[in-house]
Structure 1
């Protein structure tokens, strides 16, 4: 069932007509101006940055034309965020990380949200893309094949395409052994296969040193900085320009991912995935090729992770096996669940929210508590929010499952299913006399 605004709400008038355009634009202008006037890394700037990001959610929910939404969104993503990033590199780095994990969450959403296949080894495809570029762009390739030299950094974009196909290939390899599995059994097997990739990354340093083991691969090459950026921003140094360049690449990949996922969701393939998610037996009876559709879901989801793995390796210039552990897979799955499985805007919101909690909000709270402790405020030594990050994520998931099981921005079909189930349960309780009708 769709939700409607309360007619007597004092905020209802702000979400319709000309007033919606004025209120939305005013909020974005004010938060952007305040953020640009406070560029020092601090708690206040963090709050302003979060309020600025909140404008994207308001932009999505506002009842204004799609063209106006796209124009404002483009101005914020292409203008405000990069300009603010040149003043404080911390926040543009945060935006890059958010973009990487949003793309990963969108890929996992294809597998979990669209096709209903619980995959706990998704980070393995991320690792495949990262090690692909890490091996071929460094001297590590010479340890595998004596006499071979690293590829040119100019081939980075080719390797992004190779990462896409290699990720899809490994997605099919993962999907083949689990075609007959469902639910918990599927989750356990995918978890094991994901751990196999990590263990291989740790141990493939002998007899041939392929991954350099637990020491990881360092000095990974970066793609060359385009000359037009230096001409376009003559006042910025190379590190600043490079951050803007990586941000633009991440934004481009996220945009293409959103477009691809949206087109797939509204296609015959997307409807087939939805049918498989709801009832595999009925889907087969309706003529849906179950094996092909499941393998396609694994391949499509894994391909996005492969591309982002290549970009991640180039950005970090260092990778090692702990980067791709089970906790990373669980974190990406939490993004999908919190945002709303099957919902593209919801998964984007979940990816940004979890990234902010992980990299900004919890570390900032820990920093402020440490500052208060130095000033004489009595704070127990064991109380450090950053150390209880996973516990807070778990508590957040529990709260979501109790009060909003469909997610923050759920898919319309899942919202209807959740509320229909609640109504049916309430009706059964009334009919059996266990509860009194309201």
Structure 2
């Protein structure tokens, strides 16, 4: 078996044939059995297999885009479970983007943030307030609610305002570390939620605990985008931008500065790295990605309230980063996708299946062990097992290897460009 795996690893042509067969079989399975959750998950698994193939980076991106933009939507379309699959895929994209943003703060810069969901809430409420009648309560000019066509502008506005809040969080935590940093960021997340919960008096801005209803969905060329399959493509485009930005940042000057600060602040400062600016940039850029997805979330749900942005959400996003591998972009993507699919699809389907068996009288489940109550227990148990047996994460971060002789032989500018290109493709 080991010999066979080594032979496959060394033969790229064989890898291509086997991968093509896998994609064809899983796509056909999903197309023919559109209610099959297993077929849906196996097709998504092709993206993980693609990561481990020996294809070049450009080929991997091309195949990945083909799977995400064409194969997945087409093979799942037409069936009764289509919108359900697209709903799960959309939420996976939202959580992956937020996890990548938190990875900048925690994985790259080494700054523990337990209130990251606050930036998600800021983006959501920014869009929600102005596309409902709430804005007319405090805005002296303009006509509200704004139309759904403003959604595309609010993606950038939500990004900017969330980044601003990231800076506001970063300023008071510059001098605290470790447990104190965790406490401050946790408090920040709770303060934002409580403010939104109580900002209905004396001036009603957020409608308090009642939340914001009838938020306008996006409008594009006169068409209202209000179902999961349409939001899937919106989220996918934003997610691709986030992945590209994070990969470019990781091996840029600021990315190396973040990692230097993470390893040793004193040494980083001695090398001329501006600690304040570096940390604030980490908070701002990480928050901006969460803010963008907050706008998308509000437009998709058309209703938001403070209970959507609890501390549990912040902890969940942090666990996604840790489970995938702190500082590892592919690891964080896998960790966020794994947790979201496990929680929303696998455990939910298992719960429904057990409930159906119980209703059919095949066996009786005690109330204390009902699937609905045990779902979170099983979810937590799986995470504990990963923490025990895979503490470094599903795909640990790795530093790119450079050919020292090649870099020495190249001119200074060319050597630097080659190093950056190699790092980006790693």
> TM-score with structure 2 length normalisation?
0.88
Q: Does 1:63 align with 2:54?
A: yes
After TM superposition, give the deviation of residue 242 of structure 1 in Å: 4.4
1:160 maps to: 155
Kindly provide the CA deviation profile for residues 87-142 of structure 1, in whole angstroms up to 9, marking residues without a partner as x.
21110111111111110000000000000101000000000000000000111112
After TM superposition, give the deviation of residue 393 of structure 1 in Å: 4.1
1:194 maps to: 189
2:107 maps to: 113
Question: Any residues of structure 2 matched to 1:408-423 within 5 Å, and which?
Answer: 408-413=394-399
After TM superposition, give the deviation of residue 81 of structure 1 in Å: 1.8
In the alignment, which of 308, 311, 324 is matched to residue 326 of structure 1?
Answer: 311
Give, in whole Å, the separation in 2 of the partners of 1:372 and 1:401: 32
1:136 maps to: 130
After TM superposition, give the deviation of residue 150 of structure 1 in Å: 1.5
Give, in whole Å, the separation in 2 of the partners of 1:124 and 1:282: 32
2:420 maps to: none
Q: Is the 8 A contact 1:225 1:242 kept in 2?
A: no
Question: Any residues of structure 2 matched to 1:176-187 within 5 Å, and which?
Answer: 176-187=171-182
1:381 maps to: 367
Q: Is the 8 A contact 2:27 2:75 kept in 1?
A: no
1:436 maps to: none
Q: Is the 8 A contact 2:347 2:375 kept in 1?
A: yes
2:423 maps to: none
Give, in whole Å, the separation in 2 of the partners of 1:331 and 1:33: 34
Kindly provide the CA deviation profile for residues 191-217 of structure 1, in whole angstroms up to 9, marking residues without a partner as x.
001000000111111111111111100
Give, in whole Å, the separation in 2 of the partners of 1:369 and 1:30: 29
Kindly provide the CA deviation profile for residues 398-420 of structure 1, in whole angstroms up to 9, marking residues without a partner as x.
32232221100110149xxxxxx
2:18 maps to: 23
2:298 maps to: 313
2:199 maps to: 204
Distance 1:303 1:397, change over 3 A: same
Kindly provide the CA deviation profile for residues 257-282 of structure 1, in whole angstroms up to 9, marking residues without a partner as x.
00100000001111110011111121
SS in 2 for 1:402: helix
Kindly provide the CA deviation profile for residues 214-273 of structure 1, in whole angstroms up to 9, marking residues without a partner as x.
11001001111446xx8xxxxxxx77x843331111011100000100000001111110
Q: Is the 8 A contact 1:144 1:208 kept in 2?
A: yes
Give, in whole Å, the separation in 2 of the partners of 1:143 and 1:260: 37
Structure 1 residues not aligned, in runs of 5+: 1-5, 231-237, 415-438
Q: CA RMSD in A?
A: 1.9
Give, in whole Å, the separation in 1 of the partners of 2:12 and 2:327: 30
Equivalent residues, number: 394
After TM superposition, give the deviation of residue 391 of structure 1 in Å: 3.6
Give, in whole Å, the separation in 1 of the partners of 2:360 and 2:375: 25
Question: Any residues of structure 2 matched to 1:74-85 within 5 Å, and which?
Answer: 74-85=65-76
Farther off after superposition, 10-19 or 211-220: 10-19
Q: Does 1:369 align with 2:363?
A: no
SS in 1 for 2:368: coil
Structure 2 residues not aligned, in runs of 5+: 401-426
